[in-house]
Homo-oligomer: A and B are copies of this chain.
Amino acid sequence: MTSEFDLIARYFTRPAPAGMLGVGDDCALFSVPDGHQLATSTDLLLEGRHFFSDVDPASLGHKALAVNLSDLAAMGAKPIACVLGLGLPELDDAWVAAFAKGFNALSDRFGCPLIGGDTTRSTTGLIISVTVFGAVPTEHALRRSNAKVGDDIWVSGELGAADVAYRLLAGRLPQDQHRLEATRHALEWPEPQIALGLALRGVANAALDVSDGLLQDLSHILKASGAGAHIEYAALPVAEGLRADADDQAKGARIALEASALAQALLGGGDVYELCFTAGVDRRDAVLTAAQHAGVNVTRIGRIRATPGITVTDQAGEHLDQLPSGFDHFQAI
């Protein structure tokens, strides 16, 4: 019978980089560079709540680490290492091997070795707990609390695809295989914007990653910074797989369900893992240079203002009503 120790050893134990102590002692050990602080983030992912039971295990391994690396990106931190807690319903070697492959590939790509963990049997579905560690120069982290009135609001990449894919898979949007194919990659293989986060140090004033929905996440910046925001709906970077819908909506085509679903996806959709950040108007060139350096697109979507709250206007300058709220893990799934 495969034991807990065999399982860890077979798929996850890799030689720890020089200077680190990895799996196989009471604690993992590593150093933080001089003049840096340690940045850490943890996420708990549960089967049936954060992912579907039949999800591709390689994509799940990727995503479990990606969502945590995204938190490092949002602080401007450089990855150092990670640990993994795994509650497994059964010892399915092929499943664990595929999960480890997705996890290890991303770990290798971002120089974030797995140096410790805890594996246990779960009789109630798969449980994944990832904690990542990164380093950021002391006092140079991208905080949420530093947005200034007048700042541009930016977002990296595109919005909406992950939410639409989730709703299609959950049966909350009418079946549409073409649309699912166009959006699913965003949901299952999010790319943490580490390079952008590093490039934005000293450029952005405030930053976070969009995990619960643009408006809800932006509200955290606003609350922490004591400010409000205005968002231009037409400026939002619509995911490529949704652009036909957006064009239909702009033309006034009468597809009300699509319009509301699109607005929900862009403004309220979670699982995006792009960075939303603010920077002074005089830093626009610096932001674009940072984005170019990181190889990602960034889009200006609004401004920070003194008046509390968030308003969203359409191309005609009209306020959008019925703004979607974000995804609260304690609200209905």
Chain A residues within 8 Å of B, Cβ to Cβ: 1-5, 7, 21, 24-32, 34, 37-44, 46, 48-50, 71-72, 74-75, 77, 83-87, 91, 115-125, 127, 129, 131, 133-134, 136, 138, 141, 143-145, 207-209, 220, 224, 328-331, 333
Nearest-Cβ distance from residue A288 to partner chain B, whole angstroms = 23
Contacts of A38 in B (CB 8 A): 29-32, 38, 133
Residue of B nearest to A77 (CB): B27
**Interchain CB contact (< 8 A) of A25 among B30, B115, B117, B143:** B143
Closest partner residue, chain B, to A117 (CB atom)? B42
The quantity of this chain's copies bound in the complex is: 2
Most chain B CB within 10 A, of A5, A29, A208, is at: A29
- Choose among B25, B87, B131, B328 the residue that contacts A46 (Cβ–Cβ < 8 A): B87
- What are 8 pairs between A and B in contact, CB < 8 Å? A4-B328, A27-B77, A34-B34, A42-B85, A44-B87, A44-B120, A49-B122, A49-B123
**Which residues does chain B contribute within 8 Å of A84, judged by CB atoms?**
42
Is there contact, CB below 8 Å, between B129 and A209?
no
A46 touches B120 (CB 8 A): yes
Please report the C-alpha to C-alpha distance between residue A131 and residue B138 in the assembled complex, in whole angstroms: 22
Contact yes or no, B4 A71, CB < 8 A: no
Given contacts A32-B38, A40-B27, contact A3 B49 (CB under 8 A): no
Pick the residue among B21, B44, B119, B333 that contacts A86 (CB under 8 A). Answer: B44
Report A157 CB to chain B, min CB distance, Å.
17
Query: How far apart sit A123 and B91, CA to CA, in the bound complex (Å)?
Result: 22
Contact partner, A29, options B37, B43, B44, B116, Cβ 8 Å: B37
Contact A25/B75 with A31-B138, A83-B40 known, Cβ cut-off 8 Å: yes
Quote the shortest CB–CB distance from A166 to chain B (angstroms).
Answer: 16
Contact A42 B131 (CB under 8 A): yes
B42–A330 CB distance below 8 A: no
Q: Which of B44, B220, B330 contacts A91 (CB 8 A)?
A: B330
B46 near A129 with CB under 8 A, answer no
B144 x A26 contact (CB < 8 A) = yes
B44 touches A118 (CB 8 A): yes
Given contacts A26-B209, A44-B85, 12 further A-B contacts (CB under 8 A): A24-B144, A25-B75, A27-B141, A30-B38, A38-B133, A41-B116, A42-B117, A42-B118, A46-B122, A49-B122, A91-B330, A119-B330
